[in-house]
Chains A and B, each alone.
Chain A
Amino acid sequence: MPMDPFEIQPMDEPLSADDATLVPDGGEAVADGGFLRNMLRVFAENRLAVVSLGFLIFIVLFCFVGPHVYVTNQTNAQEALLNSTQNQGPTASHWLGTDENGFDILGRLMFGGQISLIVGFAAALVATIVGVIYGALSGFFGGWFDAMLMRFVDIGLSIPVLFLLIALVTIYRPTASLLIVVIAAVSWLVPARLIRAETLTLRTREYVQAVRVMGGTRKRIIGRHIVPNSVGTIVVFATFDVADSILLLAALGFLGLGVPAPQTDWGTMLSNGVNYASNGYWWQIYPVGLCIVLVVVALNYIGDALRDALEVRLQRR
């Protein structure tokens, strides 16, 4: 006898919430080793990114531990002028030569690198935090509030970043710590827009709706679906933004608007070096140029790998 498909079949026994047989068709979805381990696995598969991460750790150690091993004078200009030759090529006592003031270049790479790295990382951190809060508020409240906040972002983004940065630097004559604020002030607009879009789309995603239909709690939706997905966007942006901030600081230094002496940063060092480009003092240009490029490339590779590892949607597995 054919069964009526619309007839409700009586169940053998009523289901209770803790019934072990309450399993979706196709079995319980089991994470293969958890989100974090999965992420680390995907990241580790990207050899270029692992090498980049190793290089970045090396550079951080080089800049912050290096000065304790390879001790040089980097602040006393008089002593530098007295004790060493200016613009000297690499020798046994000065491995990468000296600059126009007689400062040791290898030591100066560490000394200037500290500023470049600290300002780069801190500016990216500040920009990301401000951008995430601004964007999340805008996306969360929506309506005219959202429209107003986003018009402001549009206006800010239409100003060429370097011009705005130079205007702020001219007004405030910043020290290294103020440079963090100034660079963050020109780079929080992009994450604000990203996170706002993320908040808007995540709320209406099919899988979020699916969880809701299946009776998932709000806590589960936020904790297991929305947060892990926007953390990806946030971390990936922050990584790229460290590279951008280091480049912005380098550009400012190159234009002669970097940290004031006796401090220095990689961009300022390069700017001083190219003054002697026609004299063939290569040791004043290539090492510091290489530092900037390699750190930026490494951060970009790490950002790419993080995007693959964190944004589950893009994973091909």
Chain B
Amino acid sequence: MIGYLIRRVGQAVIVILGVTLIVFILSQLIPGGQARAALGPKATQIQIHHFNVLNGFNEPLWVQYWHYLLGLFQGNLGYSYRNNQGVTSLILNRLPKTIVLVGVSTLLALFIAIPLGMGQAVRRNQFFDYSMTAVSFFLYAMPAFLIGELLILFFSFNLGWFPSQPPSDASAWAVFTNPRAFVLPVFSLAALTIAAFSRYMRSSVLDTLTEDYVRTAKAKGASPRRVLYGHALRNALIPILTLIGLTLPAIVGGALITEDVFNYPGMGLLTVQSAVNDDIPLVLGTTLVATVATVIGSLIADLLYAAADPRIRLGGDD
């Protein structure tokens, strides 16, 4: 377990370092350089030179990357010239909101998808299974923004059940204090993953139902209920943990769309707004933070997986 833990954490560190390198390379690709992007098209050569010397942009690339890494360790993600503010403080304000949105909708998706997939596995190839398969295929093909917009059209404009967007000054915890305003965003983000999770859960339960220990339990006279909940379900749940880790980048990307649709001031909306405003340092900052958050989330899911599965915990090897 310790060996696995060290190896897995080391892997995550390498990935994060690699991502910082990619983001640094992206910042070098700006046509005309960062000076032109910050000072605008009318800046003179002297102004640009002054800016470059001031920010160390005239030094060799590897020196610049080293300074960039050192800055990251001190929590400095760069400077947003459009907002005249540090990128870090802008993001820190928004990050908790995105984490809460992603967390709550992922949990909701699991609460719906796990019983759904289990039910489909138990009633395999019956009407319930077929109809739910059709629904999940449909959800799977729906673009995230369309799900969100349709939810707004029906439940907000037509029926008036829920507000079309959470209050703009809502804090990260408003999802618990004012849940009605968050029903639509949370459901629209959860809808993206319910399809994938339930499909996976269905095949996972089907797999475990053919295992020897399930047959043994049946042979010993355990009731179908006990076989399903006591033996099959718990083992079928283990691979779902890995799936969460693997799906996390897609969920975070989906959150970006959801935040835009529902005007929810998280990191995704910040990214979109700064992209529209040509605020490149801020976009690169949110990209880096979103990726690091995703990598850490996947790491946690993998470690939970290792803790839950004795074959990994005791075996030592993958």
Q: With CB as the reference atom, state the residue of chain A lying closest to B271.
A: A166
User: Are A256 and B26 neighbours in the complex by a CB distance under 8 Å?
Assistant: no
The A-contacting residues of B in range 6-55, CB under 8 angstroms, are 14-15, 18-19, 22-23, 26, 29-31
Assembled-state Cα–Cα distance A21/B253 (Å) = 63
Q: Which residues on B sit within 8 Å (CB–CB) of A256?
A: 272, 276
Contacts of B31 in A (CB 8 A): 171-172
Contacting pair A170 B253 (CB below 8 A): no
* A300 contacts across to B, CB distance below 8 A: 140-141
Flag whether A231 is at the interface (Cβ < 8 A).
Answer: no
Residues in chain A near residue B252, CB distance under 8 A: 160, 163
A217 within 8 A of B: no
B287 within 8 A of A: yes
Q: Provided the pairs A152-B18, A154-B15, A256-B276 are in contact, do residues A167 and B283 lie with their beta carbons within 8 angstroms?
A: yes
B286 near A163 with CB under 8 A, answer yes
Of the listed stretches A63-71, A191-199, A247-255, name the one at the interface; the rest are far from the partner chain: A247-255
Q: Which of A157, A256, A274 has most chain B Cβ within 10 Å? A: A274
Instruction: List the A side residues contacting B144 at CB < 8 Å.
Output: 251
- B143 engages A293 (CB within 8 Å): yes
Interface residue tally for chain B (C-beta within 8 Å):
47
Measured between beta carbons, the chain B residues less than 8 angstroms from A289 are: 146, 149-150
**Contacting pair A155 B15 (CB below 8 A):** yes
Which of B56-64, B118-126, B231-239, B290-298 is the interface stretch? Answer: B290-298
CA distance A285 to B30 in the complex (A): 35
Residue with the greatest number of chain B CB neighbours at <10 A, chosen from A154, A158, A296: A158
In the assembled complex, A278 has its CB within 8 A of some CB on chain B = yes
Query: Which residues of B, 212-257, contact A by the 8 Å Cβ criterion?
Result: 249-250, 252-253, 256-257
Q: Which residues of B contact A267 (CB under 8 A)?
A: 145
Q: Shortest distance in angstroms between B187's beta carbon and chain A's nearest beta carbon? A: 18
Q: Chain A residues with Cβ under 8 A from B286's Cβ?
A: 163
Pairwise interchain contact A293-B146, C-beta atoms closer than 8 A: yes
Q: Is A161 a contact of B249 with CB atoms below 8 Å?
A: yes
B92 contacts chain A at the CB level, 8 A cutoff: no
Contact call B26/A168, Cβ cutoff below 8 A: yes
Determine if B291 and A278 form an interchain contact, defined as CB atoms under 8 angstroms apart: no
Cβ contact within 8 Å between A255 and B249: no
Of A160, A250, A285, A297, which contacts B290 at CB under 8 A?
A160
A170 and B275 form a contact (CB under 8 A): yes
Is B109 on the interface with A (CB-CB < 8 A)? no
**Binary interface profile of B, 276-318, with partner A (CB < 8 Å = 1, else 0)?**
1011100110110011001100100000000000000000000
CB neighbors of B among A208-245 (8 A): none
Inter-chain contact B143/A160, CB cutoff 8 Å: no
Chain A: interface size category: 35 or more
Answer yes or no: A292 CB below 8 A from chain B CBs.
yes
A296 to B150, CA, bound (A): 17
Q: Which residues from chain B contact A154 at a C-beta distance below 8 Å?
A: 15, 18
A257 adjacent to chain B (CB < 8 Å): yes
Query: In the complex the two chains form, is B145's CB within 8 Å of A156's CB?
Result: no
Q: Say whether B14 contacts A151, CB under 8 Å.
A: yes
Q: Which residue of A lies closest to B278 (CB)?
A: A170
B155 within 8 A of A: no
The answer to whether A133 has its CB under 8 Å from any CB of chain B is no
Known: A277-B149, A285-B149. A159 touches B19 (CB 8 A): yes
With both chains docked as a complex, state the minimum distance between the C-beta of A168 and any C-beta of chain B, in angstroms.
7
> What 0/1 pattern do residues 20 to 63 of A give for CB contact below 8 A with B?
00000000000000000000000000000000000000000000
A171 vs B274: C-alpha distance in the bound complex, in angstroms?
A: 11
Does residue B181 face the partner (Cβ distance < 8 Å to A)? no
User: Which residues of A sit under 8 angstroms from B257, Cβ to Cβ?
Assistant: 162, 251, 254-255
Contact pick for A255, options B150, B260, B287, CB 8 Å? B260
Per a CB cutoff under 8 Å, which of B26, B140, B141, B145 touches A251? B145
Query: Could you tell me if A163 and B271 are in contact, using CB atoms closer than 8 angstroms?
Result: yes
**A158-B275 CB under 8 A given contacts A166-B283, A170-B283, A274-B149:** no
B130 an interface residue at 8 Å Cβ cutoff? Answer: no
**Could you mark each residue 268-307 of chain A with 1 if its beta carbon is under 8 Å from any beta carbon of chain B, else 0?**
0010001001100000010001001100110010000000
8 A-B pairs with CB atoms under 8 Å apart are A154-B15, A160-B249, A160-B291, A161-B249, A163-B252, A163-B287, A250-B143, A267-B145
Residues of B with Cβ closer than 8 Å to A? 14-15, 18-19, 22-23, 26, 29-31, 138, 140-146, 149-150, 152-153, 157, 249-250, 252-253, 256-257, 260, 271-272, 274-276, 278-280, 283-284, 286-287, 290-291, 294-295, 298
Known A159-B287, A167-B283; 16 more pairs at CB < 8 Å: A155-B19, A161-B253, A163-B256, A163-B287, A166-B272, A166-B283, A167-B26, A167-B284, A170-B278, A170-B279, A171-B26, A251-B257, A255-B272, A270-B149, A277-B149, A289-B150
